[in-house]
Structures are given as structure tokens and as C-alpha cells.
């Protein structure tokens, strides 16, 4: 395995991680900021108020984006298995 091949594999891995995890993390971040703003404006400091909307938003995002995420992961896994002979060299 050459350094260039290892760099390419590492880049593909990080791109796949960002593509699969990014939407869920982004939705969680946006919902958390919106809830924090709401709590700051209304001065309600209820701890459960932050968790329930985040959980619902993350679940809905996973429900909507799961087919796309699976497609990305299957493509990445397929490319890894197809390139095993190059990795062994």
C-alpha cells in the first residue's frame, strides 16, 4: 500500500463520515440553537425541553435521509471491497 493510496482511502473515509453524519448533526445543532434562543427569550430553563425536540428532529432526519445514507455507505463499502487487490500490493 502506497502513501498516495492511503491518503486517498483516508480522504474517502472522512468524506463518507461527513456525508452520513453531517445532516443529522446539522439538524441537531440548528434545533439546539433554536431551543436555546427560545429558552433565553422566555427565561424557561427546563432541561427536558432541549432533549425532546432534538430527539424528534434527529429521528425525523434519520427517517427521511436513511435511504440516502445507506446508498452512500453501500457504495463506499463496495469500493473498499473492489479495491482490496490494490491495497494488498
The burial of 71, by beta-carbon neighbours within 10 Å (0-12 exposed, 13-18 middle, 19 or more buried), is given as exposed
Domain range for 78 is: 3-88
Regarding pTM above 0.85, the answer is no
Q: How many domains does the structure of the chain reveal?
A: 1
What share of the chain has pLDDT > 70, as a percent?
A: 100
For residues 51-69, b (16+ Cβ closer than 10 Å) or e, as one string? Answer: eebbeebbeebeeebeeeb
Q: How far apart are the first and last CA of the chain?
A: 6
Rounded CA gap, 83 and 36, in Å?
A: 46
What digits encode the pLDDT tens for the residues 43-55? 877 777 788 889 9
| Cα distances (Å, whole numbers) of residue 44 to 12, 37, 40 | 44, 10, 7
Amino acid at each position: 500500500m502506497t502513501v498516495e493510496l492511503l491518503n486517498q482511502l483516508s480522504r474517502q473515509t472522512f468524506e463518507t463520515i461527513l456525508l452520513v453524519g453531517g445532516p443529522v448533526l446539522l439538524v441537531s445543532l440548528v434545533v439546539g440553537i433554536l431551543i436555546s434562543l427560545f429558552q433565553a427569550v422566555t427565561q424557561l430553563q427546563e432541561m427536558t425541553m432541549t432533549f425532546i425536540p432534538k430527539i424528534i428532529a434527529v429521528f425525523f432526519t434519520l427517517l427521511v435521509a436513511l435511504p440516502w445514507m445507506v446508498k452512500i455507505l453501500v457504495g463506499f463499502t463496495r469500493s473498499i471491497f473492489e479495491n482490496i487487490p490494490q491495497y494488498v500490493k
